[in-house]
Amino acid sequence: MAERVYIFDTTLRDGEQSPGASMTQAEKIDLAKQLESLGVDIIEAGFPAASEGDFEAVKMIARQVKGVSVAGLARAVASDIDRAYEAIKDAANPRIHTFISTSDLHMKHKLRKSPEEVADMAVAAVAHAVSLTKNVEFSAEDASRSDWEFLAHITERTIAAGATTINIPDTVGYAQPFEFAELIRYLLAKVPNSGKAIFSVHCHNDLGLGAANTLAALHAGARQAEVTLCGIGERAGNAALEEVIMALHTRKSLYNLETAVKPEHIFRSCRRLSKIIGLQIPKYKAIVGGNAFAHEAGIHQDGMLKNRLTYEIMTPESIGRASEDSEIVLGKHSGRHALVTKIEALGYNLDDKQTTYVFEAVKALADKKKHVSGEDLEALVLEELYRGQEDTFELKRLSVMCGNMDLPPTAAVVLRVKGEETDRKLADFGIGPVDAAFNVINKITGRKPQLKLFNINAISGGADAQGEVTVILEEDGLRAVGASLDEDIIGACAKAYLKALNRLEFRKGHK
């Protein structure tokens, strides 16, 4: 009989620390619900003591997502732990996740404390957390570079204090799979009370070994994997949920381990994350990248035609990725029922008002292009889900001229500013039409953000494809993503830029 592995998703905490991946409260709640549908066991919703915004987001997730355990991160200090519990206390199964560094390097230079002082702090933190909830996880930060005997010592003491989960992180992605597996085996054998806790691993991807180290640890006896969608996270990221899950699923006879994750929800979950943070999934990304199931070499194509197993160890359908043959294409004559069916197949649940808006948007788009693809529809759904949440600035009119040798590119913009009765209007020049539009928006709003990313992508094939534009702006130390789509690419650029400005405005008010 297969043993159970628990999946601890930290996309909303560690993942959100990835540059450009910050999310609004509404986006976090939406993604948390998607993770619940995916079947993860624990959602680490954030670091409540980090900011008021993080606290409120964790609190809302704990109240609204009831099918999974919700965890809040806390340093090994009472104030952090109290703040975490206050945020998660309404969850169905609240977990406090407290941590402290255990490597000699960190203890000497970061904490400036002796090993025994650190062990005492860890025990006190766990004991305090246990007084609030019995679901307590302790993490030994930088465990892979820690002295093994000291790691065993602090693990034994924190389990005795009441920790029910012990996390052994490869915090800086330093470990190699064979040595990390040996560390897990050592702790399971060396710690006398190891049987009273679940051992977990949290592996970073600095050397490209996040998933490999996680799988090696699970094979060695760890029974919780801490992962993120698409592997997003600090620096080079974390072990990717989709890679770990599909390795366990594809090599089931080797690992003999099972999870509650529904593989057929993987693709839509990763796509949802991509749409929310406005960052494209790389084409060569394992499992969910655009080329993951593409075959161009003649020998491979020949083998695929004879038997798909020759070059596919899993199918697109196994991760919820529809084949082209089964793609439902919507047109202007499609009915509301067909639309709702397709929306649900994409993993979204809209209320009647939202469905009506998307239905009308589909009709309008179908008047301009013959067919509305699944990618088109998903983009329209997300436009509706996040429409008007933070809008300080609203685009009312946009007119651009590309220019020629006699007249430089020009943009005329009409903006509505929240709280003002009269629209603001201005026209100006730029190097190109997009630059002109951005210049005018900056002058109207009085802002001068740095444009850190500007990306244009056709979301479906054909010359009539909608253009999806993503921008990342930075101002006063804050970053924000803006994404928009339109059959008019310049219009999409202006809308994406304004969405990023609106998010910057929102975050300045919630620092």
Residue 323, amino acid:
S
* Res. 148: pLDDT tops 60: yes
My answer on whether 336 and 377 are in the same domain is yes
- How far apart are the C-alpha atoms of 75 and 129, rounded to whole Å? 11
My answer on whether 457 and 336 are in the same domain is no
My answer on whether 398 and 466 are in the same domain is yes
My answer on whether 311 and 411 are in the same domain is no
Residues 316-330 have a mean pLDDT of: 66
Which whole-number Å values give the CA distances from 252 to 218, 246, 313, in the listed order?
A: 13, 9, 12
- How far apart are the C-alpha atoms of 342 and 329, rounded to whole Å? 9
My answer on whether 366 and 267 are in the same domain is no
Give the bridge partners for 14, in sequence order: none
The contacts of residue 216 (CB under 8 Å, 6+ apart) are 177, 178, 180, 181
- How far apart are the C-alpha atoms of 376 and 28, rounded to whole Å? 23
Domain boundary among 277, 311, 345: 277
Strands 257-258 and 450-458, bridge-based pairing: unpaired
Residue 318, amino acid:
S
Give the bridge partners for 427, in sequence order: 412
* Res. 181: pLDDT tops 50: yes
- How far apart are the C-alpha atoms of 487 and 505, rounded to whole Å? 27
**Is residue 273 in some structural domain?**
yes
3-class state of residue 23 by DSSP = coil
My answer on whether 45 and 83 are in the same domain is yes
My answer on whether 304 and 446 are in the same domain is no
**CATH number, residue 53:** 3.20.20.70
Q: How far is CA 120 from the centre of its chain?
A: 35
pLDDT tens per residue across span 150-166: 999 999 999 999 999 99
My answer on whether 193 and 332 are in the same domain is no
**Is residue 178 in some structural domain?**
yes
Instruction: Please check whether residue 379 is in contact with residue 457, taking contact to mean a CB–CB distance below 8 angstroms.
Output: no
My answer on whether 65 and 199 are in the same domain is yes
**Is residue 73 in some structural domain?**
yes
- How far apart are the C-alpha atoms of 33 and 276, rounded to whole Å? 13
My answer on whether 153 and 254 are in the same domain is yes
Helix (H), strand (E) at residue 140? strand 136-141
pLDDT tens per residue across span 196-242: 999 999 999 999 999 999 999 999 999 999 999 999 999 999 999 99
How much of the chain, in percent, has pLDDT values that exceed 70?
Answer: 89
**CATH number, residue 435:** 3.30.160.270
- How far apart are the C-alpha atoms of 386 and 12, rounded to whole Å? 17
pLDDT tens per residue across span 85-109: 999 999 999 999 999 999 999 999 9
- How far apart are the C-alpha atoms of 215 and 252, rounded to whole Å? 12
Q: What is the band of 299 on the pLDDT scale with cuts at 50, 70, 90? A: very low
Query: Cα angle vertex 61, ends 57, 67, to 5°?
Result: 165
Enter the pTM of the model: 0.81
Report pLDDT for 416. Answer: 92
**Is residue 400 in some structural domain?**
yes
**Is residue 283 in some structural domain?**
no
- How far apart are the C-alpha atoms of 3 and 361, rounded to whole Å? 47
Domain boundary among 387, 411, 426: 387
**Is residue 305 in some structural domain?**
yes
**Is residue 120 in some structural domain?**
yes
My answer on whether 431 and 349 are in the same domain is no
Q: What does DSSP assign to residue 265?
A: G
- Work out how many domains the chain is built from and give that number: 4
Domain boundary among 337, 361, 387: 387
Q: What is the band of 325 on the pLDDT scale with cuts at 50, 70, 90? A: very low
* Res. 388: pLDDT tops 70: no
Q: What does DSSP assign to residue 309?
A: G
Instruction: Please check whether residue 402 is in contact with residue 489, taking contact to mean a CB–CB distance below 8 angstroms.
Output: no
Residues 361-372 have a mean pLDDT of: 76
Domain, as residue range, for 414: 393-508
My answer on whether 178 and 29 are in the same domain is yes
CB burial class (10 A; 0-12, 13-18, 19+) of residue 145? middle
DSSP 365-392: HHHHSS-B-HHHHHHHHHHHHTTTSS-S
Both tokens of 502, joined, read 């609106």
Residues 455-467 have a mean pLDDT of: 72
- How far apart are the C-alpha atoms of 261 and 355, rounded to whole Å? 28
CB burial class (10 A; 0-12, 13-18, 19+) of residue 132? middle
**Is residue 288 in some structural domain?**
no
